[in-house]
Amino acid sequence: MQYYNIDGIQAELRIKPIKNLYIRVYPPDGKVVVSAPAGISKKALSDFLDSKSRWIREQHLRLSKMSAEERHEFVSGEYHLYEGKRYRLEVRDSRGRTSVALDNENIIMYINKDNTKEVREKVLDVWYREGLKQKLPGLLGKWEKIMNLDVAECRIRKMRTKWGTCNIREKRIWISLELAKYPVFILEYIIVHEMVHLLERKHNKRFYALMDRFLPEWKEGKKYLVTKPE
């Protein structure tokens, strides 16, 4: 793994078979990833990153601040996202079955009060996962019909720097558990994005033409998720 220092910010450098340089600043903590073509000179890389250093610093600080504000202890009074809306978490002591329920403006967690933060986090993750699982069959069925594709399997993973990924040969898709926190149209955008990869492996003109054809509003979804310099 290679790293590059940008004004004190550590950026991960990934060399790929691409033509252009790309920068991504990822939530939740402002991780910076630079994708560069093989054979790029140190000077060309340095000049590019210097030209984007102010933007990188601003986005990194913004996301780092958001991450700090949203660090959770999974106790009553905190706010957690679900389908793009903020809900107040209410933890209720329960000696019976552990469960989570949505009630108006609250996410209510029934759990033994002696359980640790890590256990409470896992309980909420299970609830998020179940929420996504309920949505997937309908969305996949809809887009398989529209795109004339068959997806062999769609799984949910905890992913730090990706919203989705796919195995083109086996026609398997994975989506990030974090998508449970976002509006349903964002989940749909990621599903379509990964399904288009089953038709076109690379992010090239054909890929984006297919995105425009199937989901003309896809750029709004991208803006919602990914911060990228123009």
pLDDT tens-digit profile, the chain (230 residues): 688 888 888 888 999 888 888 888 876 677 888 999 988 998 999 899 889 888 888 888 877 666 555 678 899 999 899 998 889 999 999 988 899 999 989 999 999 988 999 999 999 999 999 999 999 999 999 999 999 999 999 999 998 778 999 999 999 999 999 999 999 999 999 999 999 999 999 999 999 999 999 999 998 888 777 543 33
State residue 67's pLDDT score.
54
CA distances from 64 to 26, 30, 71, 180, 196 (A): 10, 5, 11, 21, 32
pTM listed for this prediction: 0.72
State residue 228's pLDDT score.
35
Q: Which CATH superfamily is domain 79-225 in?
A: Metalloproteases ("zincins"), catalytic domain (3.30.2010.10)
The residues of the chain that CATH labels 3.30.2010.10 are 79-225
State residue 159's pLDDT score.
86
